């Protein structure tokens, strides 16, 4: 075999190995996927359209981050929200690397994909725990009036890139033919709460806190992940990239951190 043939063979083997390595990576193997009890869910959207509604929730957790997907759907509209935060054990050296705007998160949702979106003028507002950028938009094919939103907070001041430890983004769309303006969007943002941050989270007993709940069976976890990616029945929903796996380690030294 000539040298050229040898090089070509090695390159082909590397390409195949790389492809197999990429295929072997599966998000189901990166953490634990659960459907939390409603009183343990984090994100609340407290608008009249969702009064008395138990949303669809999926929680993902690994050693450094927790991510929650939540879907609210009723005759009064549809909202999906993503919330992520770093876990306390590693919070001093872990951040969320997610440098996006509302204009780029809105198309991440399956509900908005493959649609022409007419964007309005974005604006800044706030609620009980953070400032939010709001992006009004309309689905051209359905005529539904909507608003996307995004926030990041608890910025790590010792991170050279000043990245956050908490982020939230999502959208709300009113039913077809229903008006939804900037004032409605602002009221929506102010209605959002997070258990454990802006409102209390149910306190577990000492026994429960010291008892580690085993992860669900793998097929159950797979179903939970797919539920977040593809949404529940009854309409289009889901966040195809869930979980986002956006945590990163950082250091505040003047030299490279070998183990980061």
User: Tens digits of per-residue pLDDT, 158-170?
Assistant: 888 999 999 999 9
Q: In this structure, is the dihedral angle defined by the CA atoms of residues 20, 25, 26 and 32, taken in order, positive or negative?
A: positive
Determine contact, residues 179/117, Cβ cutoff 8 Å. no
For residue 185, give the nearest of 232, 124, 119, 245 by alpha carbon.
124
Determine contact, residues 106/120, Cβ cutoff 8 Å. no
pLDDT tens digits for range 199-220: 998 766 544 545 578 999 999 9
Confidence band of 1 (pLDDT split at 50, 70, 90): very low
Residue for token digits 């390595």? 21
User: Is 156's pLDDT higher than 50?
Assistant: yes
How do the domains of the chain map onto residue ranges? Answer: 35-249
pLDDT tens digits for range 29-86: 999 999 999 999 999 999 999 999 999 999 999 999 999 999 999 999 999 999 999 9
Confidence band of 253 (pLDDT split at 50, 70, 90): low
User: Is 181's pLDDT higher than 50?
Assistant: yes
pLDDT tens digits for range 82-116: 999 999 876 678 999 999 999 999 999 999 999 99
Residue for token digits 């879907």? 71
User: Is 12's pLDDT higher than 60?
Assistant: no
Q: In this structure, is the dihedral angle defined by the CA atoms of residues 184, 188, 190 and 191, taken in order, positive or negative?
A: positive
Section 225-251 average pLDDT: 93
Mean pLDDT of the chain: 87
pLDDT at 80: 99
User: Is 247's pLDDT higher than 90?
Assistant: yes
Tokens of 5: 């043939």
For residue 122, give the nearest of 145, 153, 149 by alpha carbon.
149
User: Is 7's pLDDT higher than 90?
Assistant: no
Tokens of 139: 């689905």
For residue 81, give the nearest of 47, 122, 109 by alpha carbon.
109
218/205 Cα distance (integer angstroms): 27
pLDDT at 4: 47
65, β-bridge pairs: 86
Residue 8 CA: distances (Å) to CA of 3, 24, 223? 9, 24, 42
pLDDT at 204: 61
pTM of the model: 0.85
User: Is 258's pLDDT higher than 80?
Assistant: no
């Amino acid at each position: 075999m000539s040298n050229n043939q040898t090089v070509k063979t090695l390159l082909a083997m590397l390409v195949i190995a790389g492809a197999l390595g990429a295929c072997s990576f599966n998000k189901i193997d990166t953490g634990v996927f659960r459907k939390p009890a409603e009183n343990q869910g984090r994100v609340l959207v407290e608008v009249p359209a969702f009064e008395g509604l138990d949303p669809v929730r999926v929680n993902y957790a690994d050693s450094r981050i927790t991510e929650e997907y939540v879907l609210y759907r009723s005759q009064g509209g549809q909202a999906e929200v993503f919330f992520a935060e770093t876990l306390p054990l590693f919070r001093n050296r872990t951040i969320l690397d997610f440098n996006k705007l509302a204009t780029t998160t809105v198309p991440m949702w399956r509900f908005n994909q493959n649609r022409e979106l007419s964007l309005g003028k974005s604006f800044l507002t706030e609620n009980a725990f953070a400032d939010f950028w709001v992006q009004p938009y309309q689905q051209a094919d359905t005529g539904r009036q909507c608003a996307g939103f995004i926030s990041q907070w608890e910025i790590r001041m010792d991170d050279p890139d000043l990245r956050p430890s908490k982020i939230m983004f999502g959208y709300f769309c009113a039913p077809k033919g229903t008006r939804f303006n900037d004032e409605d969007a602002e009221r929506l943002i102010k209605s959002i709460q997070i258990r454990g941050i802006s409102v209390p989270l149910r306190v577990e007993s000492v026994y429960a806190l010291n008892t580690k709940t085993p992860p669900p069976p793998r097929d159950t976890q797979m179903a939970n992940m797919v539920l977040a990616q593809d949404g529940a029945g009854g309409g289009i929903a889901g966040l195809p990239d869930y979980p986002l796996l956006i945590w990163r380690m950082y250091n505040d030294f003047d030299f490279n951190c070998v183990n980061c």
